[in-house]
Structure formats: structure tokens, C-alpha cells
A = this chain, B = another copy of it.
Amino acid sequence: MILTVTLNTALDVTYTVDALVPHASHRVGEVSERPGGKGLNVARVLGALGHDTVVTGFAGGATGDVLRGLLAPLPPRDALVPVAGNTRRTLAITDRSTGDTTQLNEPGPQVSAAEWVALLRTYEELITAADAVALCGSLPPGVHVGAYAELVRIARAASVPVLLDTSGEPLRRGIAARPDLVKPNADELAQLTGFREPLRAARDARRRGAHAVIASLGPEGVLADTPEGTWRAAPPAPVRGNPTGAGDSAVAGLLSALAEGLDWPQRLARAVALSTATVLAPVAGEFDATAYAELLPRVSVKSVGAAA
């Protein structure tokens, strides 16, 4: 079983309008809602790949109920911990003609100390049955900034491989707890290390505690710096589309390959093929299964250095 943790789950709402005009009134054409937050996105992709997947994190209020209702028919199993506050919504307003999107993100619910303890108990129970765990996204208000570090330590004590995908201070603290993998993008890595050059920054992140760093480089693929070697993996050709969720699909690719005992080049090929197939999908955050199957053998994975 693969476990994903989303402390700041979201109900992702999409509005379609003719064109968003500030200070005007708009009729919303279509309204769609789906469970969101990075770890839930990762779990949805893992479920689609056939992996037994469990999601935990927080969900509460009317929005949390809607989120859990939408999650119920999907493959990932729901082990979300209830909170008194209301799960946040994210709103994407898409202009019909151009596809341009305006994003509005609500703040998360205030999480109490007792709710955090309940999450820790659930996590400690689930981790014993997990082949791998992903810790994903931002922290809701009230959760201490070292929360991911605490979850990394528990995973390591249980000898379960742990991937951390967050940013800012939670990433800085989490890395110091020595996670197996981190998957920052170039901006997150630069913010953490002060270096813009990806290999230099990845090396620095490893010195800070990460065993392996998979830096996502957008359309150019990923750079992986690991104890087993350093690789660049890239799609066979650049693609155009909607990059929403591409990073989450890359996490799902890494995690699924790790859980199956595949080596780094295979893990990276899967991450790049899945994220590229996500950019190509007509629905934001979904992946195109046919494109994934076609891309997987065609991802270029090149060693760019021996184990450091």
C-alpha cells in the first residue's frame, strides 16, 4: 500500500466564464468540483495506475464533506482525519475563449493541537502497512512548521521510504529530518539553497539532509541527484498543454516505481512520462493514459555523473 498525506486538502472548484473582467458581473457557465490538494492528486494518479493507495490528512466542515463524497467512488481509500474547521476551496476561473485561468485560494482551516495528535495516531497506524509514503503540500494554520520533519522521522523509524513535496520553511525543516526523496521545482530549490543552478542546488539540498533530490525543470524534465548517481530525464519532445498537476503526477511516478523496486532510470522515466501525459490531458490534473504508455519507453534518461 502507498500512503499519501495532504495536511491542507482542498475542494478544487472550476468556473467557466466568457472572460473574467474585474469589477464586472459574470454568469458562470459550468461549475465543476473535485478533491484537491497535492497528496490527493498524487493518490488519484496512483489509483489510476492500479496501486493500492490510502490518503490521510485533514478534512472538515461542509467543504470537507463534499470532498469526501467526491473521493468515495475513487480508488484511493479515505483515512482523512476530521477537523472542526472548514476544508478550504481553491477556485480556478477559466476564460472560455482562451483557456486562461485566474486562481483564488482560500486559507486552510485552523487545526487544533488535539486534531494534530489525532493525525499523528492515524499516520502511525497506517505507516506500518505502507510500502512508501508521500508528504505533500502546504500546512494549514495551526500546524507547527516542523510537522513534516516529525512525519519524516516516524516514516524512517518504521523503515518506510518517504518522499517530501513541499516548499519554504516546512521543506527546510523537513529536509533536516533526512527524507529519502524531495521533489522541489527550480524555484523551491533556489529558495531553499540560494543557488539557481539545479545541480549545485540539488547537491546543497542533499547536504542539508535529503538522500535524493529530484528537481523538476518544467518542460525539460527532471534532474535527479541521488546516492546511486546523477541523471537528467526528459520527454522525447517538448509538449504544450496545461501543467496543472504535472508535479503531482511526477511524484506518483517516482513513488509507484519505488514501491515496485524499480531502479532510478526507471523511476525517472515513469515520473517524466506521467507528468508529460498530464500536461497533454484535456482535463487539468488528469493524465492521458494512452500518451503515458507511448511516452514511457521514449523518455531519455542520461547519466550526468557518478554517485556523489
Q: Which residues of A contact B (CB under 8 A)?
A: 15, 17, 20-29, 31, 62, 65-66, 69, 91, 93, 95, 100-107
Contact = CB atoms under 8 A, between A and B. Distances in A.
17 contacts: A15-B106, A17-B104, A22-B95, A22-B100, A22-B102, A23-B100, A23-B102, A25-B104, A25-B105, A26-B102, A26-B103, A26-B104, A27-B107, A29-B107, A31-B106, A62-B69, A91-B91
B105 A28 contact: yes
Q: How many copies does the complex hold?
A: 2
B62 A23 contact: no
A157 B55 CA distance: 58
Contacts of A24: 102-103
Given A22-B20, A62-B62, A65-B62, A28 B106 contact: yes
A106 B69 CA distance: 21
Contacts of A27: 105, 107
A101 B22 CA distance: 8
Q: Which 10 residue pairs across A and B have the least CB separation, nearest first? A: A25-B103, A23-B100, A62-B66, A28-B106, A26-B104, A20-B22, A31-B106, A22-B102, A28-B104, A23-B102
A8 to B, nearest CB: 13
Interface centre among A15, A17, A62 (most CB of B within 10 A): A62
B107 A31 contact: yes
Contact of A104 (B15, B23, B66): B15
Contacts of A102: 20-26
A65 B28 CA distance: 21
A15 B13 CA distance: 14
